Amino acid sequence: MGKDSQIHSLNISNKDLIGHLETSPESRQKLQQAILGYAEDFLNNLKTDKAYQYNRYEKEEQDSFFDIDEAKYPVAEILPFIAERVDKPGINPASGGHLGYIPGGGIYESALGDYLAAVSNRYAGVFYASPGAVRMENALIHWTGKLMGYTGNFGGNLTSGGSIANLIAISTAREAKNIKGKDLESTVIYTSQQTHHSLQKAIKLCGLGECVLRIIALDDDYRIIPEKLNAQIQKDKAEGLQPFLVIANAGSTDVGAVDPLNEIASIAQAHQVWLHVDAAYGGFFQLTAEGKKVLTGIEKADSVILDPHKGLFLPYGSGIVLIKDIAHLAAANSYEANYMQDTKMHQDEMSPAELSPELSKHFRGMRMWLPLKLHGVAPFKACLEEKMELAKYFYSKIKVMGFEVGPEPVLSTVIFRYLPKNTDANEFNAAIVKAIHQDGRIFISSTTLNGQFYMRVAVLSFRTHQREIDLLLEIIKEQVFK
């Protein structure tokens, strides 16, 4: 056989289509104009668009356009569909009227950061592949850790949100405390009724579901009572059990409660128990003078998680896990792979892939770094101060209107309900929430505590100002006293 006959020839159907995925400069410009024009219209209409489109969940005939088929469609046909069937139904998280589920808003510069990250397609998993991207993410971890009061050799990771951040923290705690399968039934985890459900998932996913779970009593402000925690740990030790992990809140989802972190940290240290603080909601209030007082003791935690898509107003998909000793984080995520051997040639800084379960990952750092560099930190601090003041303002106003209120807000969440004379309170308040949703200009949520239905306002969108709070008060007044 001749030499040429041994060469494999390419057998590709539709060869003329191969180059179509490389868009020409002219096509890029037209596409950018169309999409940026749509984005500008969306942003410019936020003040008049509804925060919630009630009863738009039914599937319609046009929803078949969601399906992928062999056809291709012009952007002029795609964008109206997105407007009508994606951006209208349900909650509008970009709206200043979104006052439920701990909103963030999604600042514009973060979207541009995501665009840059996606266009350049930098791989931020290992230092060898993109030293600049890794240095940027590590700088963000360093800034956030210092903000929490960490010093020394701490470390962390940018995650997709609080759920994965909690998972990494619990996994690290298990590794650091050397919890084995044979130990589970005598190992104790301490939480409260205000612990976020993502931590329940994390405990299960980390293989700790068979541990003894202690639910510690709360005070009238829904905070862990330190004396109850200490007594339970002492009792468990006397019975031959092994206290392992305490989970505390720095901004609970239901009511915005912050546990007495300083006292809890002292108890955890005395008993050599890992302290994890879920600060997904409240952590970045550390930027404010008042928030720093509320969060006193957070610097003593072994692990902390935060959500920049809450407290820094970034788009969804932004979380941070911090571990006080980076060695524990590295040990929990160590790995060896032959095809990754080249990465060992350049290890000037720790890589995200060495400090989390993720290998393939989006370059998340740009969406956080770019707005902080463009704006500086001061506007973020000012916005957080405003949200705390707006919550206090709403709390005082709704109280004067005759509503029963929950704890006075220490962050930016208020729970409240009206007690009618001759009607079931739970049904009455549920009807008010439904009416607010039908109106749609403002979106609030609800929760149930000790069998009682409460309405719930969470003020954390950077677009929420006194105008939106006054509008909500007006809508509530119309519904309750009509």
| Residuewise pLDDT in 10s, the chain (482 residues) | 455 557 788 888 887 788 788 899 999 999 999 999 999 999 999 999 999 997 666 777 788 999 999 899 999 999 999 999 999 999 999 999 999 999 888 999 999 999 999 999 999 988 888 899 999 999 999 999 999 999 999 999 999 999 999 999 999 999 999 999 999 999 999 999 999 999 999 999 999 999 999 999 999 999 999 999 999 999 999 999 999 999 999 999 999 999 999 999 999 999 999 999 999 999 999 999 999 999 999 999 999 999 999 999 999 999 999 999 999 999 999 876 554 555 566 666 888 888 999 888 889 999 999 999 999 999 999 999 999 999 999 999 999 999 999 999 999 999 999 999 989 999 999 999 999 999 999 999 999 999 999 999 999 999 999 999 999 999 999 999 87
Bridge partners of 319, per DSSP, are 159
Task: Name every residue whose Cβ is closer than 8 Å to that of residue 227 and which is 6 or more positions away in sequence.
Answer: none
Q: If you search the block for the tokens 């101060």, which residue do you land on?
A: 385
One-letter identity of residue 44: N
Task: Name every residue whose Cβ is closer than 8 Å to that of residue 401 and which is 6 or more positions away in sequence.
Answer: 473, 476, 477, 480
Do residues 176 and 202 make contact, with C-beta atoms less than 8 angstroms apart?
no
Q: If you search the block for the tokens 């700088």, which residue do you land on?
A: 139
Going across the sheet that includes 452-458, the strands are 404-405, 413-417, 452-458, 445-449
Closest by CA position to 320, among listed 155, 114, 84: 155
Do residues 328 and 337 make contact, with C-beta atoms less than 8 angstroms apart?
no
Task: Provide the pLDDT for residue 18.
Answer: 80
Give the Cβ contact number of residue 217 at 10 Å: 13
Tokens of 198: 């993502």
Do residues 75 and 34 make contact, with C-beta atoms less than 8 angstroms apart?
yes
pTM (two decimals): 0.94
Q: If you search the block for the tokens 């293989």, which residue do you land on?
A: 207
Residue 353: strand, helix, or coil: helix
**CA torsion, ordered 329, 334, 340, 346, to nearest 10 deg:** 50
Task: Provide the pLDDT for residue 339.
Answer: 45
Residue 157: strand, helix, or coil: strand
Tokens of 403: 């509503």
One-letter identity of residue 244: F
Looking only at the bridges linking them, the beta strands covering 187-191 and 242-249 are parallel
Backbone angles phi, psi at 72, to 5 degrees: -120, 150
Looking only at the bridges linking them, the beta strands covering 242-249 and 274-278 are parallel
* DSSP one-letter string for 308-350: HHHHT-PPSS-EEEEESSHHHHHHHT----GGGGGGGG--SS-
Give the Cβ contact number of residue 39 at 10 Å: 13
For residues 82-97, one letter each, b for 16 or more C-beta atoms within 10 angstroms of the residue's C-beta and e for the rest, the string is eeebebebebbbbbbb
Q: Cα separation of 445 and 436, whole Å? A: 10
Q: Which class for 16: exposed (0-12), middle (13-18), buried (19 or more C-beta within 10 A)?
A: exposed
Q: Cα separation of 297 and 262, whole Å? A: 4
Tokens of 74: 């012009």
Backbone angles phi, psi at 241, to 5 degrees: -85, 165
Residue 479: strand, helix, or coil: helix
Q: Cα separation of 69 and 469, whole Å? A: 45
Q: How many angstroms from the chain centroid is the CA of residue 90?
A: 19
Q: At what angle do helices 226-238 and 261-270 cross, to 10 degrees?
A: 20
